Amino acid sequence: MEPLTEQRPVSGPLVYGFLRIDRNSPARQAALSDALAEYCRSHELVLGGLFVERGTGTSALTAAFTGLLDALALPDAYAVVLPAASHLGPRPIAAERKRQITGSTGARLLLVRGGKTAFRRVKPSSGRGPCPGIVLDAET
């Protein structure tokens, strides 16, 4: 008899992260990367790679975004995970990128901070939330 699925290692859906960072801040990039990794871990997703766009370009097609689209063309790609929708860029660029991600590749967009919940930093000593220093809170 076969063991139950819960007792076998099962790989979750393959996702790719995308960050758009306006200024050169290694601490901000590290914090956002950690947030994406924690989101994937808690939702049983496999983070296959992280694409980082630096600067405030006016084009929807940058090296980082083109790399993301190439990764999404792979057969096992499921979605793009973003810290927030604003990481797709300003509205005209974001609209075009969303169309390319969901329309051309068929991938989904997953937002760490979207809808009615968001991650909010709290003092590490508070002991609240799923991991020290972060609590899931209602967005205002």
Nearest CA to 108 among 72, 59, 56, 75?
72
CATH of domain 11-115: 3.40.50.1390
Q: What pLDDT is recorded for position 54?
A: 87
Q: What pLDDT is recorded for position 109?
A: 94
Q: What pLDDT is recorded for position 122?
A: 34
Q: What pLDDT is recorded for position 133?
A: 34
Nearest CA to 100 among 132, 137, 59, 136?
59
Q: What's the rounded Cα separation, in Å, for the pair 70 and 91?
A: 23
Q: What's the rounded Cα separation, in Å, for the pair 33 and 18?
A: 9
Tens digit of pLDDT at every position of the chain (140 positions)? 555 555 666 678 999 999 999 877 889 999 999 999 999 999 999 999 999 998 767 778 899 999 999 999 999 999 999 999 999 999 999 999 999 999 988 899 999 986 443 333 333 333 333 333 333 333 32
